[in-house]
Amino acid sequence: MIKVLVTGANGQLGQSFRYWASRFPKFEFTFSDLPELDLTNDLQLTHYFEKNTTDYVFNCAAYTEVDKAEEEIVLAHKLNELAVKKLCELAKKHRFRLVHFSTDYVFDGTNENPYKETHPHAPQSVYGVSKSKGEQAILNADIDAWIVRTSWLFSPYGKNFVKTIFSLLQNKTEINVVADQTGAPTYAIDLAKSVLEALAQRSFGKKTSVYHITNEGITTWHEFALKIKELINSDCEIKPVATEDYPTLAKRPKYSVLSIEKFKKEFKIKSRSWEWVLADCLKKIKSES
């Protein structure tokens, strides 16, 4: 059995790995989150790995409040950078392999073509900087690891754009949604499955590899919202607005599509379209509401 620790188990991605756990019998999962395992507590982390044998750590824990990070800078860096550094130290000592999840926000959003894994970082927000530094900590550590970047994550779990819009469309007659930011939506359930299928195919190399995983297709937040409206037959009007008309504390990338060609080529894993998986996600949300 391959022993896997999933950190941040109560978040979108952590719950998505839980969704697949029983269908990948070669992996024996342990799901942890606060308070039983606090990644910002070095002593607690050290003690955990001294007592428990682990083959893989899927680090789904992250500070993801993009706007609050502009004010909670120390907290964002504690979880997105310093905790990752500690995991790297422990990975070397206890010889487990790390799968760490990162973000399109490490880029500046000025590209006009999908970002490849090797594109230089230029984060524009505290959140993006903290995630970028977490990636760099792994690259500097010289450990067996995967850095998996993704974007526009949604699922039936936790807080995300799809769940927010789903709720607004049923309670409002009119909403405004930004129409000039472009990205690739990612269904957390598909992301989790892709990672597990890739690991089932072959083991890590002796260095850190970086992959981009999203669903197929690109869209804007406004188009994304319109598709949700169509799928749930809402009468709510969705008005397009410009980024400058919807001010936020953190700067968002205007274009943050990630190229997924490397992952598809190496693992021959097909990616479903975001429209297709959105319908699946909404069915799950409806069944739970």
C-beta of residue 257 within 8 angstroms of C-beta of residue 216: no
DSSP assignment of 45-71: HHHHHHHS--SEEEE------TTGGGT
Q: At what angle do helices 221-232 and 274-288 cross, to 10 degrees?
A: 50
Main-chain dihedrals φ then ψ at residue 30, nearest 5 degrees? -120, 125
Q: Which residue matches tokens 């606090």?
A: 38
Judge whether 56 counts as a catalytic residue.
Answer: no
C-alpha count within 13 angstroms, C-beta hemisphere, residue 99: 28
Dist. CA 185–CA 167, nearest whole Å: 19
Q: Is 221 exposed, middle or buried (0-12, 13-18, 19+ CB in 10 A)?
A: buried
Exactly one of 105, 127, 157, 211 is catalytic; which is it? 127
Dist. CA 262–CA 5, nearest whole Å: 26
* Closest by Cα among 158, 157, 162 to 227: 162
Dist. CA 192–CA 69, nearest whole Å: 26
The residues that are catalytic are 127
